[in-house]
Amino acid sequence: MSQSAGPGGNIPRILHCHSTFSPGGKEVRCARLMNAWGGRLHHTIISAEPQAMGAAALIAPAVPVDYPTGFPSLKGRPTPGRLARLARALRGFDLVCTYNWGAMDVVMAHRVFADAYRLPPLVHHEDGFNEDEAERLKPARNLYRRAALGRASRLIVPSTGLERIARGIWHQPPARVTRIPNGIDTAAFAAPPDPAALPIVKPEGQFWVGTLAGLRPVKRLPDLVAAFAAFPPDWHLVICGEGPERGAILAAAARLGIAARVHLPGAVDPARVTGLFDIFALSSASEQFPLSVVEAMAAGLPVAAPDVGDIRTILAEANRAHVTPPGDVPALGQALGALATDPDLRAAIGIANQTRARTEFDLAAMLARYEAVYAAAMGRPF
């Protein structure tokens, strides 16, 4: 348990309310921040999907963290009684961190009851949208976000696109919105990968197109299977992650006659496996600042991906020719094919990407900015 009995204790206590805690970009980032801070903070993690807690395995054993089972559900109608129950559950912490639409009722509960219950400050994080808002934001949700965020100390976004949405559509004042690009331990991804970290073996002479993603509809992973379908037999597709789309991905592979060359090994440690890929691919309908792309860059890989979010600007200039129109499966297949047939091109783009990742997206800068925002919200260093 924490050494802190509440606000003013020795170790600040942070409550994290997530839309899901399956291993995806925001969850991996959250775990890495926790690991970097070590014993300086105590964390409590809640998921709107209580069964989706796979990212907990990424948190180091020495980090003080708990996963209470009696917290009010993050799902349901935002009635006054339910919001009041959520608000009461926020008491006793030094900071509340909320993540994405799935935790927005917590933000509203804080907005409505912050004074009555003397609630701690709240920092909200927006990292992107699920398939229900991938192509168009819902007006009712925009209004709800705008109202709920009125008492937030800060709204953190990773991308320029989300920054524009926060200011222009959700009408958040510039002083409340902070853009912090995702960062990673670039040295860890540049280290040699660990073949034992996967339950499948990569034989000599075999090549891999790989991706790291939550297996959700918004990731359009059956599209990636279709884009890969024409690859020759010495190429395999490795899709690492967990989620409800597993069956749809396998069905697409079977339908296209490539089931033996499509592998779904589940959740992995990205730093240990990304370097095993020869090409990194995305097929998402919506992204903002995908951590997996930066990880692939740091591992020295070329990337083929749709032009969504900040992907084009994240990548080295040499890689941008392999960014394709969103939803265009043949174009994605052509971009992958161009990389697959030219090992020298893959190597040159990989070097350019790795250099850019080290220069622009290292963990240290991200860590310092998150620490500054959280400390300012709490009014105390940690």
Mark whether 190 and 328 lie in a shared domain. yes
Mark whether 238 and 155 lie in a shared domain. no
In a domain, 79, yes or no: yes
Mark whether 53 and 118 lie in a shared domain. yes
Mean pLDDT in the chain? 94
Question: pLDDT tens-digit profile of 367-377?
Answer: 999 999 999 99
Arithmetic mean of pLDDT, 86-112: 98
CA distance 55 to 123: 21
Say what the pLDDT of residue 378 is. 98
Arithmetic mean of pLDDT, 341-363: 96
Mark whether 235 and 371 lie in a shared domain. no
Mark whether 206 and 144 lie in a shared domain. no
Question: pLDDT tens-digit profile of 128-137?
Answer: 887 778 678 9
With cut-offs at 50, 70 and 90, classify the pLDDT of residue 9. low
pLDDT at 3 over 50: no
Greater pLDDT, 333 or 4: 333
With cut-offs at 50, 70 and 90, classify the pLDDT of residue 24. confident
Q: Are strands 13-18 and 177-179 parallel, antiparallel or unpaired?
A: unpaired
Mark whether 289 and 238 lie in a shared domain. yes
Greater pLDDT, 351 or 267: 351
Spell out the residues 6+ positions from residue 115 whose beta carbon is closer than 8 angstroms to its own: none
- Kindly report the CATH number assigned to the domain that includes residue 45: 3.40.50.2000
In a domain, 3, yes or no: no
Spell out the residues 6+ positions from residue 286 whose beta carbon is closer than 8 angstroms to its own: 128, 129, 130, 131, 133, 134, 135, 218, 308, 309
Arithmetic mean of pLDDT, 209-235: 96
In a domain, 2, yes or no: no
Arithmetic mean of pLDDT, 62-90: 97
Question: pLDDT tens-digit profile of 270-295?
Answer: 999 999 999 999 999 989 889 899 99
Mark whether 146 and 208 lie in a shared domain. no
Mark whether 142 and 193 lie in a shared domain. no
Say what the pLDDT of residue 34 is. 97
Spell out the residues 6+ positions from residue 140 whose beta carbon is closer than 8 angstroms to its own: none
With cut-offs at 50, 70 and 90, classify the pLDDT of residue 211. very high
Considering its fold, how many domains does the chain have in total?
2
In a domain, 6, yes or no: no
Mark whether 169 and 269 lie in a shared domain. no
Mark whether 158 and 265 lie in a shared domain. no
Mark whether 235 and 354 lie in a shared domain. yes
Say what the pLDDT of residue 7 is. 45
With cut-offs at 50, 70 and 90, classify the pLDDT of residue 10. confident
Within 10 Å of residue 190's Cβ, how many Cβ atoms? 15
Question: pLDDT tens-digit profile of 224-262?
Answer: 999 999 999 999 999 999 999 999 999 999 999 999 999
Distances, alpha carbon 174 to alpha carbons 182, 183, 185, in Å: 20, 23, 29
| In 169-314, beta strands by DSSP E | 177-179, 207-212, 235-240, 262-266, 279-281, 303-306
Say what the pLDDT of residue 25 is. 84
CA distance 238 to 266: 10
In a domain, 91, yes or no: yes
Say what the pLDDT of residue 118 is. 98
Pick the closest to residue 100 from 158, 54, 44 (CA basis).
158
Say what the pLDDT of residue 178 is. 98
Task: Please state the pTM of the whole predicted model.
Answer: 0.74
Domain hosting 151: range is 13-183+363-378
Least confident of 15-29, 270-284, 324-338: 15-29
Mark whether 125 and 254 lie in a shared domain. no
In a domain, 4, yes or no: no
